[in-house]
Amino acid sequence: MTDNRIGDGALFSNRQLGIKDENRAPSPIIEHAKGSKLYDVDGNEYTDYCLNCGVNILGHANHNVVLSAKKHAERGICFGATTKAEIDLSRYLIEKIPSLQKVRFVNSGTEATLSAIRLARCVTGRRYVVSFEGMYHGFHGLVPVVHHQEQCCDCSSSGMVLPFNDILAFERAIEKNKNDIACVIMEPVAVHMGIIPARPDFLTAVRDLTKKHGIVLIFDEIMTGFRGFPGCVESELGMVPDLTCLGTVIGGGFPIGVYGGRADMMRWLAPEGNVFQAGTFAANPVILRAGMMTLRLMNENFYKALNRKADRFAQELNMFFEEHQIEARIVQWYSMLSLRFSKRDVNDYKEAQNIQRPGLYTEMFQYLLARHIYFPPVATEPFFISGKHSKADLNDLADAIKTFMKNKGDERC
Ligand code: PMP
């Protein structure tokens, strides 16, 4: 059963495909999920490469995570008071993430970035928020959602959106507005424009200039945190921002957001300081226990096996594209991958836009869905491999992409 009247609130709605209402392909209505598979209400099985925006890194409904949630739910679902779960998970995160001296748990990534930006504004007494084109930090409106062409962002008077990886543009903008800029927020690996890592010299310039002018640097590691190893990009780079936002995998499939960083800044938050931030459902102990269980299960061996699977998959497809002179490439950051219809290197949003072939991608998405493969419907969104994707799952996906791309090549000849 499918229904094309609903589903627009879902992560991957047909609307994102840019298909007019009357021509919309209906979305499957999901009934349950296990491991690498989703099942719709008619019992159709799909291999899931969206994993709810990469949240389900262990695969759906991991036995130990579900048991932990059940066990802790039976002991009381929420208390509105500090719990041992909060202390344990805070300690774990502080140990793994260099910038974290103190942390706060919230209910989503959007809330984490919103709270971090608010804190930066209060600490600096400045208003401007610098972000980079094509990055996504949530829908709160403090940072525009460029790739969704949002119209109603309230940041026109206080936001500056700069090209990513462009040192000169960054230096000029900072020099001109340094006394008004509260913070720079960025993903050190830009996830929503086809996986583009920040160039090391760009990151160094951002860190140096923000430090020099007392501007708060916020890393949004909501997608990259704990994705490839027990840490995040800043752990790998040895570059410490002032504040870091985390989310997705840390809640074990439940809603979560985390922000934290320098203790002197975090002390501005109530009750120690005067910046009020609260949430009825924040730091929910059931979620924090499920998250802690998830992080414990992601040990060295887990990451090694998962990253090896992703490496092999990317290598196999890239070799195939090379051999058949197909203008495509798999771009990869550990188990997060993106299919780019170009072999060119891409450094920013404009270049990412220039290589887009939305019609071709939509066709591929529908081709895969017809083969019961659930793939992101938007070309610039990444796809994910979980600990539960089998060799057979990945072979099916590789074969389907190869066949589709080869047929498209043959059609053009
Ligand atoms: N930042 C980044 C980098 C994201 O990918 C997302 C969404 N996954 C968010 C912020 C917002 O998180 P949420 O959807 O949990 O509000």
The tens-digit pLDDT sequence of the chain (413 residues) is 454 444 444 445 544 544 444 444 567 899 999 999 999 999 999 999 999 999 999 999 999 999 999 999 999 999 999 999 999 999 999 999 999 999 999 999 999 999 999 999 999 999 999 999 999 999 888 888 776 555 555 665 688 999 999 999 999 999 999 999 999 999 999 999 999 999 999 999 999 999 999 999 999 999 999 999 999 999 898 899 999 999 999 999 999 999 999 999 999 999 999 999 999 999 999 999 999 999 999 999 999 999 999 999 999 999 999 999 999 999 999 999 999 999 999 999 999 999 989 899 999 999 999 999 999 999 999 999 999 999 999 999 999 999 999 998 777 65
CA of 372 to the centre of ligand 1 (A): 26
Residue 197: strand, helix, or coil: strand
Q: What pLDDT shows up at residue 21?
A: 47
User: Contact at 8 Å (CB) between 313 and 385?
Assistant: yes
- Using most ligand atoms within 8 A of CB, pick from 137, 226, 254, 256 the residue to mutate for ligand 1: 137
Q: Which atom, in ligand 1's list, is nearest to the CA of 257?
A: 15
Q: What pLDDT shows up at residue 153?
A: 59
Q: Which atom, in ligand 1's list, is nearest to the CA of 108?
A: 15
- How long, in residues, is the chain? 413
Strands 159-162 and 128-132, by their bridges, are: parallel
- Using most ligand atoms within 8 A of CB, pick from 110, 131, 139 the residue to mutate for ligand 1: 110
Q: Which atom, in ligand 1's list, is nearest to the CA of 135?
A: 3
Q: What pLDDT shows up at residue 316?
A: 98
For residue 136 and ligand 1, the question of a CB distance below 6 A is answered with yes
Residue 128: strand, helix, or coil: strand
Letter string b/e over residues 181-196, b meaning 16 or more CB atoms within 10 A of that residue's CB? bbbbbbbbbbbbbbbb
Q: Which atom, in ligand 1's list, is nearest to the CA of 54?
A: 8
Beta strands in 125-266 (DSSP E): 128-132, 159-162, 181-186, 189-190, 196-197, 216-220, 243-246, 257-261
Within 51-83, residue ranges assigned H as helices are 51-54, 63-73
User: Contact at 8 Å (CB) between 190 and 381?
Assistant: no
Euclidean distance between CA atoms 256 and 318, whole angstroms: 35
Q: What pLDDT shows up at residue 4?
A: 45
Strand order in the sheet with 102-106: 102-106, 257-261, 243-246, 216-220, 181-186, 128-132, 159-162
Q: What pLDDT shows up at residue 145?
A: 77
CA of 137 to the centre of ligand 1 (A): 6
Q: What pLDDT shows up at residue 412?
A: 65
CA of 197 to the centre of ligand 1 (A): 17
330, containing H or E segment: strand 329-333
Q: Whose CA is nearest to atom 1 of ligand 1?
A: 137
Residue 171 burial (10 A CB sphere; 0-12, 13-18, 19+): middle
Euclidean distance between CA atoms 308 and 290, whole angstroms: 26
